[in-house]
Amino acid sequence: MATILAILGTAFALFVVIMAWRMLNWLWLRPKQLEKQLRKQGFSGNHYRILFGDMKESSKMGREAMASPVGISDDIVPRVQPYTHQIVKILLYGLALYHASISWTLR
């Protein structure tokens, strides 16, 4: 009986270690490796931040955009996607955006 419990305990510990490694790889190692490869290819943009990415800046700019009125002849893009519009306007092309654990590249 003790050997069965020892085997189950070892199997459970191994399972926990494997799942922790997968989570670390998914949330940190793979995005940082992708960021490094993109920078090597000439892409610029914000650095990767775990879990939330650029959501803080994006939501702040969205709130600011919704606070101002839009005229009938104004461009709608800065109002609908203010963060993406600003990044594209500044960098023009070749940027990396991070939204949670998903990354996009725009060229």
Domain boundaries, the chain: 2-106
What the block records as the tokens of 41 is 């290819």
CA atoms of 62 and 17, how far apart (whole Å) = 40
Q: Quick one: pLDDT band at residue 77, thresholds 50, 70, 90?
A: confident
Please tell me which residue, 100 or 40, carries the higher pLDDT value. Answer: 40
CA atoms of 2 and 61, how far apart (whole Å) = 60
- Which letter, b or e, does each residue of 12-32 get, where b requires 16 or more Cβ atoms within 10 Å of its Cβ? eeeeeeeeeeeeeeeeeeebe
Count of alpha carbons within 13 angstroms of residue 36, beta-carbon side: 6
| Amino acid at the residue 29 | L
Q: State what percent of residues in the chain have pLDDT above 90.
A: 26
Residue 15 above 60 pLDDT? yes
Look at residue 42 in the predicted model and tell me its pLDDT. 81
- Mean pLDDT of the region 31-52: 83
